[in-house]
Chain A
Amino acid sequence: MTAAAQDRYTSVAIALHWLIAFMVVGQIAGGLFMSNLDDDQVKLKFELYQWHKSFGVSVLLLTLVRLGWRLTHKAPALPAAMPAWERLAARGAHVGFYVLLVAIPLAGWALVSSSPYADSVQTYLFGVIHWPHLPFFTGVEDREAVSDGFAEIHEYLAFAMIGLIGLHVAAALKHHFINKDSVLAHMLPIARRKG
């Protein structure tokens, strides 16, 4: 592999990063908005939940593709000047993202599948593709309690995601404007190489 090729993530990795990033930000905003809507806004609420499920499954599937890609393609090397603790922190944050990107949709899927509404509200991705419920909850007595439990997990993990995004963005900007290294450029859609 040439040095130039190692300068940035691969185009596929960059595309997946930004696609997932925009979806996640939209999901956080949409999720907070829809869950705080009054019950008398039934139409908007119902439709937003359908969209949220569609994009949530999209994030899950794209993340699995991205994980597969990440495990088979090398990431660009971090700047040699980075101290060991920063490398470790960066590694930890990236692993944390992958964990959350899988766990949050799974918790959402579980809360939908265990919901008292589950039988009547099947999930159709973008109104078209049937997405089944998880099969583990058919015999559950108190569906509401189980579903609410998953909803709490879904919500807390989403708050962890918000925190991690803040950290991630701050670190990227620090690398770009304070360290003036190429770390942010590794993931920019348009190559901007620093000398």
Chain B
Amino acid sequence: MKSQMLAALAAAISLAGCGAKSVEAAEAASPGGWIVDKANSRLEFSGAQTGDAFTGAFGAFDAAIVLDPADLSAASIKVVVDISSAKTGDRQRDAALPTADWFSAKAFPKATFAASEIVAVGDGAYEARGKLTIREATRDLALPFTLAIDGDKAVADGAATLVRTDFGVGQGEFATGQWVGLDVKVSFHIEASR
């Protein structure tokens, strides 16, 4: 009985999720567009707290990707991250992340990366040049990634190291690297189909 209710609840939630994301789904369905396989895609970050490395992930994000290696002029990438979905597996740290000193998730619920200039830099290697917005700060970001396309399936991996204080992540006592390192590596693994 309980599991049936849970299943119904899960179905209702996923249906609601589909409704909210219909715009991006439509974008992704345009020519050259990819539909991200969310179950197998990850957006992760790693940093250091009091010298110890930690890793975390954003459990909720959407990506609208138009990318045809044969015609990069039409390519575009837009990623919208639900900032409150960041989890690192540590209660204390996860309680801190949405607060005003860090992501200030209430005031800035979404982080975005938008790029419409995608250049090939080698065999299967690309760079997406665009703008990353976290909190109130928008900065240029050149995001390197690899892309392997096999028929209608694609796998992309990439990473970039950000300085968290460039985006105001870590205010006041945390604006220095004393307790929490300033460098944060953000990496992703995207699986998509068309």
Q: Which residues of A contact B (CB under 8 A)?
A: 39, 42-43, 45-47, 50, 116-117, 119-122, 124, 127-128, 130
Contacts of A120 in B (CB 8 A): 96, 99, 101-102, 173-174
If A119-B100, A121-B96 touch, does A39 touch B172 (CB 8 Å cutoff)? Answer: no
Contacts of A121 in B (CB 8 A): 92, 96
Q: Which residues of B contact A (CB under 8 A)?
A: 50-52, 91-92, 95-96, 99-102, 172-174, 178-179
Query: Are A46 and B179 in touch, CB under 8 angstroms?
Result: yes
Interchain CA distance A127-B91 in the complex, whole Å = 8
Contacts of A46 in B (CB 8 A): 50, 179
Interchain CA distance A120-B96 in the complex, whole Å = 4
Query: Are A39 and B92 in touch, CB under 8 angstroms?
Result: no
Min CB–CB distance A78 → chain B (angstroms): 47
Query: Are B178 and A119 in touch, CB under 8 angstroms?
Result: no
Interchain CA distance A120-B98 in the complex, whole Å = 9
Contacts of B50 in A (CB 8 A): 42-43, 45-47
Query: Are B178 and A117 in touch, CB under 8 angstroms?
Result: no
Contacts of A128 in B (CB 8 A): 91
Query: Are B91 and A117 in touch, CB under 8 angstroms?
Result: no
Q: Which of A42, A50, A117, A119 has the most CB of B within 10 A?
A: A119
4 nearest interchain CB pairs?
Answer: A43-B50, A120-B96, A119-B99, A122-B95
Interchain CA distance A119-B98 in the complex, whole Å = 10
Query: Are B173 and A117 in touch, CB under 8 angstroms?
Result: yes
Nearest A residue (CB) for B177: A42
Nearest A residue (CB) for B170: A120
Interchain CA distance A47-B99 in the complex, whole Å = 21
Nearest A residue (CB) for B99: A119
Query: Are A42 and B91 in touch, CB under 8 angstroms?
Result: no
If A39-B178, A42-B178, A130-B91 touch, does A119 touch B101 (CB 8 Å cutoff)? Answer: yes
13 A-B pairs besides A39-B178, A43-B50 with CB distance below 8 A are A42-B178, A43-B51, A43-B52, A46-B50, A47-B50, A119-B99, A120-B96, A121-B96, A122-B95, A122-B96, A124-B91, A127-B91, A130-B95
Interchain CA distance A130-B94 in the complex, whole Å = 12
Interchain CA distance A111-B92 in the complex, whole Å = 18
Query: Are A119 and B51 in touch, CB under 8 angstroms?
Result: no
Min CB–CB distance A50 → chain B (angstroms): 8
Interchain CA distance A127-B89 in the complex, whole Å = 12
Min CB–CB distance A52 → chain B (angstroms): 14
Min CB–CB distance A13 → chain B (angstroms): 35
Min CB–CB distance B90 → chain A (angstroms): 9
Query: Are B179 and A119 in touch, CB under 8 angstroms?
Result: no
Contacts of A45 in B (CB 8 A): 50
Contacts of B173 in A (CB 8 A): 116-117, 120
Nearest B residue (CB) for A43: B50
Interchain CA distance A120-B92 in the complex, whole Å = 8
